[in-house]
Structure 1
Amino acid sequence: MLRSSYQKGERKLQKSFIKKTRVRLWMAVALLIAGLAWGTTYAAAPKVKIKVWTMNRHDAEYMTAMVNQFNKQNKDNIEIVYQIFTDNYQQTLDLAYATGEAPDVFMDATGVYEKRLPAGDLAALDSYLTPAFKKRFGNGAFLDGINMEKGSIYSLPAIGTTPRLIYNKSIFKRAGIKSPPRTVAEMARDAKLISTKLSKEGIFGYAQNFKNPTQALSRSVDYIMMRSGGVREGYDFKTGKFDFTGYKPILQAYKEIFSSNGAFPGCESLDIDPLRTQFAAGKIGMYISWTHSEPGVYQNQFPTKEAWDMAPLPTIRGVKGSNRINLAGRFWLMNSKTKSPKDAWKVMEFLYSDSLLGGYYERGLGLVMVPSAVKKAKKPETVQKWPAIQFDKHDKIWPNIPLNVRPEGKDMYQVFAEIIFGATDLDRGLADLNARYNQAFDKAVSEHKSTRIVYPNFNPAEPGKVFQK
């Protein structure tokens, strides 16, 4: 009887202990939840920062807003660090690569792809590209020598651009000029006429951003040469050699402008944005720049009330060639040395998305070349205001020139600038370029650092025929 009573008491104590333990556990859980509710937090994982560089400032307002939205909404814990380098972009990129500080993703520009690809600095994108993603870009979007090399894709089309003559219609009218110049000789004549009639008001005929000769002349003299039926960046595809002789009449016209008070004072040290501020203020008659940038510049960056327009580039003696469409197959590039390639690609996907590119097109920030984005977008107002902004029958995709040609001494643009400003004799300067560039090219070919590209039947009016198999 006593043992039975003890067992009953023991079971009663066990039940009481279990009940109290459960209560304590529930209280502990409740306290933990309460603690979290009252602000007890744990450190979140640091965001993966992907550095993106661009040289475009005209689209800064739109792109910054889109990047901020991505940074807030993406679920991959990525933060884009978006940086703009309008002036000296190529040199800044060179320095960044030399010091191990290159961006993860960066915009292509004159000479960037051609320099970085043979150096092994660009990541191939093939492993990231799904059939559905590639289909968005349409037929003929991937071309050897444009955005492909030895079967690998290194970039994708996005925004196409080409230079036009940007001119102030009111200034032309005041100077008695009825239409924009069709030849470089007419351009020199009109520049001098504007300066002669209006320089007392601080208005001059022509300007170009010569602080950086490469940026100034790669968007002007080079394209005038191609449109006139000549070579690209000095390279003759028919012979497989460099020949700068054909630039002579173009440089003569420029030399005439800058030696006769036809140009805005101080062009030697003028960057593109200070030039634009003077144009917006009605102090410059004309200059040459890109179709993708100038509308946004004068609507957002430097708003102007001046009546301005775009016109096709002048030529030597009529259109015998074509304007090269710049960035036709390339826009964004990925650093092969990025520490976060998968995250960098997710940023590339965002930059090439229909939502971003569609908005870009609708706002008139550039001519988007991705069919899936354009199909969903409204026609931009810029096309109605400035019809010449659209690509025409003379705007074509050109093949690339040989890579890795680095002559000793000054490059073609530095020599061109010296010729224009009278520091170097025209004929001697061009002959020197021919000698040094071909010597450097022959050496690069012999050392297997470059390849001689020859198209015996090359036609500058139809350069795309070289891509047809």
Structure 2
Amino acid sequence: MLSVEEGSVLKRGGKIMKKKINRRDFLKVMGVVGMTASLAACGDSGSSSAAASSTAGGDDGVITISYWTTDRHDQAYLTPLIEEYNKTNSDNIYIDYQVYADNYSQMLDLAFSTDTAPDVFKLSGTDPLEVQVDEKKMLLDLSPYMTEEYKARFWDGAFVQGINSWGDGIYSLPFTASACRLFYNQDLLDRVGISAPPKTLKELVDDATLVTKQLSSEGIYGIAGNYKSAMSAVMRSIDPVVQVSGGTCNGFDFKNGKYDFSSYREVLQLFREMYSTGVAFPGSESLDIDPLRTQFAAGNIAFYFSLSHAEPGVYQSQFPTDINWNCCQIPSLSGNTDGVQNLWFGGSDKAINASTKHPDEAWKVMEFLHSDEVMGPYYTAGLGTVMIKSAVEGAEPPASIETMPDLAIGANDQNWPIRPAISIEGEDYSTVAVQCIFGLKDIDQAISELNDRYNNAYDKSVADGAKRIVYPNFTAKNQDTSV
């Protein structure tokens, strides 16, 4: 059964109320695919669905702009700000703010298919930008609303073709970003005599081995990974090490316009040395990230890879801990930064429904949500690494970045160009990478097979009309996309 947690809807007067909607249209659509959807808290009194937009309040002239998001961790911060906006804005706009949890992508697709999609919404990330723009006609071009002065509020390089821009249009505004870091327990490093966190991947192998050798009798191990989800684990560990070592991003070689996973070889070999020889926390192959964090908070893990935006809040509220922990930049093969790390997310977040009845009012809501007044304190509170330069420059840095400077997004954390959209046969590269790490596949043979399968899929895509991506002057460090 497909279910969606009730969204929180801000009603007039600053009260939070919940209301079940008429599900007739939704059940009819979901019946076609053999699933049942439950949608709650959508719309004003008298509304039968999560309407794209409506004039609320009878004859009072107030325009309701619906805003959907999945960012539950922002809810406590945004709720009072949106309540205040609804009471005081001079544009007669009321923001109908709804926060969803599971199955958001399905709910958003369903809403668009039944003409009940919100005016402003967080992108789901399930379709490439060009599909949402050209094929599904979901997204409004924001560029007519954006002056050069407004665009200059964002960090350099914040607008990227295929991420938030397509052709001459801009379809989503940069919001927050996150990059991978190596997190470590300083107490354990002190115990075994490690003076500084590793700068090379080989140093990480040696350090993790030393911790395990000295402390495994106490149930303490050198490293762990959340390998139950291959893609999640590889994207936060293997991929960033390959990238900062000067390799490819997800295996795609922009310089030559083809897939080449050879830059993964040495990285996989060193990870295998840790995970198939008893150095790593037992059961890492079946760990999710939260059980891993629980063990780290308990002091049982020395190192693990994760995301810069998430961990401070995790150990403050979700898994409180007394251990002395910190983070450092991703170790590379050479110890130098030979390539930039692709942002885990960054550049694409909120958009406006192309079919909204009130585009000007929807844009005003976008301006409010991205304003310095909203995003400056948001940054200071440590809720996210904000990509709005004007908001960050006028705000105090969060305590987490003051104490752990490597949490901050830097010049070596950037959006890579968009990779080809292909459909491969067989297992994806992340699944194969995990099999290599745990000794289930030969690394050289696996890389050869990946190259064949990915290039066959890419060649077919090009034969079907896709343009081959080739940037002759491209390197992992200096990403020149001129042709």
Which TM-score applies when normalising by structure 2? 0.76
Contact 2:67/2:95 (8 A) holds in 1: no
Bigger radius of gyration: 1
Matched, 1:80 2:97: yes
5 Å-filtered alignment, 1:184-333, equals 184-319=201-336, 320-333=338-351
Q: 358, 367, 370: which is aligned to 2:385?
A: 367
CA offset at residue 331 of structure 1? 2.8
Query: Whose RCO is larger (CA < 8 A, sep 6+)?
Result: 1
Q: Quote the residue 1:383 is aligned against.
A: 401
Give the corresponding residue for 2:145. Answer: 129
Identity between Structure 1 and Structure 2 (%): 38
> Are 1:459 and 2:459 matched, yes or no?
no
Q: Which amino acid aligns with 2:286?
A: S
| Equivalent position SS for 1:466 | coil
**What's the CA shift string for 1:121-147, capped at 9, x where partnerless?**
651332672436445336654343442
1:358 aligns to 2:355 (yes or no): no
C-alpha change, 1:52 and 1:264, in structure 2 (3 Å) is: farther
User: How far off its partner does 1:168 sit?
Assistant: 0.6
Further displaced range: 335-344 or 72-81: 335-344
Tell me by how many angstroms 1:408 deviates: 1.4
Q: What does 1:93-104 align with in structure 2 at a 5 Å threshold?
A: 95-96=106-107, 104=118
For the pair 1:395 / 2:413, whether they are aligned, the reply is: yes
Asked if structure 2 preserves the Cα contact closer than 8 Å seen for 1:163 and 1:289, the reply is yes
Q: Which amino acid aligns with 2:273?
A: E
Between 1:125-134 and 1:234-243, the stretch displaced more is 125-134
Native 8 Å contact 1:321 1:460 kept in 2: yes
Aligned-partner Cα distance in 2 for 1:360–1:381 = 12
Map 1:63-212 onto structure 2 (within 5 A).
63-67=75-79, 69-71=81-83, 73-74=85-86, 76-84=93-101, 92=103, 95-96=106-107, 104=118, 105-107=121-123, 113=129, 120=136, 122-126=138-142, 129-131=145-147, 133-137=150-154, 141-212=158-229
Paired letter, 2:350: W
Structure 1 residues 269-318: Cα deviation after superposition (integer angstroms, max 9, x where no partner): 32222222221221211111121222222223322211111111111223
Amino acid corresponding to residue 455 of structure 1 in structure 2: Y
Alignment root-mean-square deviation, CA: 3.1
Q: Distance in 1 between matches of 2:194 and 2:151?
A: 48
Alignment gaps of 5+ in structure 1: 1-42, 86-91
1:427 to 444, 451, 465: 444
C-alpha displacement of 1:108: 6.3
> Cα gap change, 1:383/1:111 in structure 2, threshold over 3 Å: closer, same or farther?
farther
Distance 1:196 1:165 in 2: 21
Structure 1 match to 2:18: none
The one-letter amino acid of 1:384's match is E
Per the TM alignment, residue 340 of structure 1 is displaced from its structure 2 partner at its CA by 8.1
Taking structure 1 as reference, are residues 415 and 363 closer, same or farther at Cα in structure 2, changes over 3 Å only? Answer: same
Instruction: List per-residue Cα deviations over 1:211-237 (Å, max 9, x = no partner).
Output: 221111112211111100111110001
CA contact (8 A) 1:191 1:204 kept: yes
Q: Secondary structure at the residue paired with 2:451?
A: helix
Q: Which has the higher helix share?
A: 1
Distance in structure 2 (CA, Å) of the matches to 1:428 and 1:115: 34
1:401 maps to a residue whose letter is: R
For residues 137 and 216 of structure 2, what CA distance do their matches in structure 1 show? 48
TM-score normalised by length of structure 1: 0.78
How many residues in Structure 1 have an aligned counterpart in Structure 2? Answer: 413
Q: C-alpha separation between the residues in 1 aligned to 2:109 and 2:438?
A: 32
Indicate conservation of the 8 Å contact 1:122/1:333, yes or no: no
Q: Relative to structure 1, is the Cα distance of residues 67 and 287 closer, same or farther in structure 2, using a 3 angstrom cutoff?
A: same
Deviations 1:222-258, CA, capped at 9 Å, x for gaps: 1111100111110001110000111011111121211
Paired residue for 1:13?
none
- Cα distance 1:226–1:139, how it changes in 2: closer, same or farther (>3 A)? closer
How far did residue 117 of structure 1 move?
5.8
- Asked whether the 8 Å contact 1:362–1:380 carries over to 2, the reply is yes
Give the AA of the match of 1:466.
Answer: T
